[in-house]
Amino acid sequence: MNEIPDIHEEPNELYEHFRFVVDKGQGQLRIDKYLFAKMENVSRNRVQNSANAGNILVNGLAVKPSYKIKPLDVITIVLAHPPKDTEIYPEDIPVNIVYEDKDILVVNKEAGMVVHPGHGNFTGTLQNALLFHLQKSDPTGETRPFLVHRIDKDTSGILLVAKNELAQSKLARQFFYHTVDRTYVALVWGNLKEDEGTITGNIGRDVRNRLIMSVYADEEKGREAITHYKVLERFGYVCLTECRLETGRTHQIRVHFRHIGHPLFNDETYGGNEILKGTTFTKYKQFVQNCFKLLPRQALHAKSLGFIHPTDGRALHFDSEYPADLATVIEKWRAYSQYKNPDE
């Protein structure tokens, strides 16, 4: 058996993608047994769930767990990561659930809430809140929140969560193959030259600061990332943009706009928390500082999400209003741009 390293970490290490080529001397064997023997720390149940979700392909075609492998078969598998029981504890924290059924939850996350425990945030996360919510209807604790994507702590907006492993596996496939429809709104510094555009660049960990991301020309230093944007409004010194993602890399929108010289407004991590465009007038500086206080985070909101329901096949789409902090700052810039000359 030849294993070809092909492990993806999109979105943000919530699933993996593997590719195998079956050895010429391999006898016929059920594919679930074959993969269970070849993949470390992966249960047979997870392999079977991936197959039932259509996430195991042989020579490009989806197969069931009972498929008998043959020599030189090319096997690809998208494998969702299960929640880690030892890291998640139920906490009674208010959370805005906009849709729920037996398989999925859709949440409109507030800015400031971490999605899952880790990196010093072991309590107060969205997963802690959702586990508490789910245990109210299932005291056994067997129903748990399964993540399929994430948004940053200080990014607000729509987030999709599975309630069982099969739903997670089916949704992970949609995210991996980029068939979900995600839109974000971002307020960025500067006056973008084009009304629409595409930002590309391989995103990987910054070599000097592992907590942030950078764009690299060398594909070996980062993974391909593609962001499409459209200018919604121009306010002279900042632009309100709509962003659509083809990929889901960590901090993708934030690092891509920093890369082209237009960091997100008040994005401290990527340099947007300074006055990067505008005049030297004291009143203007006071205006920007006031906006920073009203919006003490990066100006990014996950506005909408469209996907196929993992069980009944319905096409679902969820949209959200701008949160109050972002809406207030957008309105202030809109009013400011109407009576100030951006070229003065």
| pLDDT number for residue 4 | 34
The pLDDT confidence band at residue 279, using thresholds 50, 70 and 90, is: confident
Q: How many Cα atoms sit within 13 Å of 44 on the Cβ side?
A: 8
Q: What is the pLDDT of residues 70-106, one digit of tens each?
A: 999 999 998 887 665 556 889 999 999 999 999 999 9
The pLDDT confidence band at residue 239, using thresholds 50, 70 and 90, is: very high
Q: What is the pLDDT of residues 108-167, one digit of tens each?
A: 999 999 998 876 777 899 999 999 999 998 887 778 899 999 999 999 999 999 999 899
The answer to whether 85-176 and 181-339 have equal CATH topology is yes
Q: How far, in Å, CA of 241 to CA of 264, rounded?
A: 10
Amino acid letter, residue 344:
E
Name the active-site residue from 103, 152, 154, 267.
152
Domain residues of the chain, as ranges?
2-80, 85-176, 181-339
The distance from CA 192 to its chain's CA centroid, rounded to whole angstroms, is 25
| pLDDT number for residue 140 | 79
Active site residue 32: no
pTM above 0.85, yes or no: yes
- What CATH superfamily is the domain 85-176? Pseudouridine synthase (3.30.2350.10)
Is the Cα dihedral 331, 334, 340, 344 positive or negative?
A: positive
Asked if the 181-339 domain carries CATH number 3.30.420.340, the reply is no
Q: What is the pLDDT of residues 305-326, one digit of tens each?
A: 999 999 999 999 999 999 999 9
Q: How far, in Å, CA of 168 to CA of 163, rounded?
A: 7
DSSP letter at 181 equals: E
Other C-beta atoms lying within 10 Å of the C-beta of residue 179: 11
Query: Domain 2-80 maps to which CATH number in 3.30.70.270, 3.30.40.230, 3.10.290.10, 3.40.1400.10?
Result: 3.10.290.10
Q: What is the pLDDT of residues 162-215, one digit of tens each?
A: 999 899 999 999 998 889 999 999 999 999 999 999 999 999 999 899 889 999
